[in-house]
Amino acid sequence: MPRVDLSQGRRLPSPMTMIIICYPDYGELLMKAQPKQRPRTLADLLPGQTGVIATIEGDPELRTRIQSVGLRPGRHVAVIRRSRFGGPLQVRLGTSDLVIRPQQAAHIMLA
């Protein structure tokens, strides 16, 4: 039985063999290649982005201080402005604006 090259409709010489390469599902490959994402923090948001506070991590003094200014789980926050060179962030909570250090914002986890 003669072999037929399916892409061109030509006969292949008898000593040649056809090699079929099977690739895994492309989407599955991409999913495996993506690194595990860490939880988003308030410090990760860019100006204009919003989020909902999920938890506040850190020592009890820091948590109390952050919650005393109104940053509590369940509240919607929006980053208004970021200072250059790792400076403070201006954050909007409802109608109030707060300025918070990026080191403190890194302890505020978003949902």
DSSP letter assigned to residue 57:
-
User: Which has more pLDDT, 11 or 87?
Assistant: 87
Three-state secondary-structure class, residue 12: coil
- Residue 104's Cβ-side half-sphere holds a number of Cα atoms within 13 Å equal to 19
Q: Is the pLDDT of residue 52 over 90?
A: yes
* pLDDT for position 111: 87
* pLDDT for position 7: 56
pTM for this predicted structure = 0.64
CATH class of 42-110: mainly beta
List where CATH 2.30.30.90 sits in the chain.
42-110
CA distance 102 to 110: 14
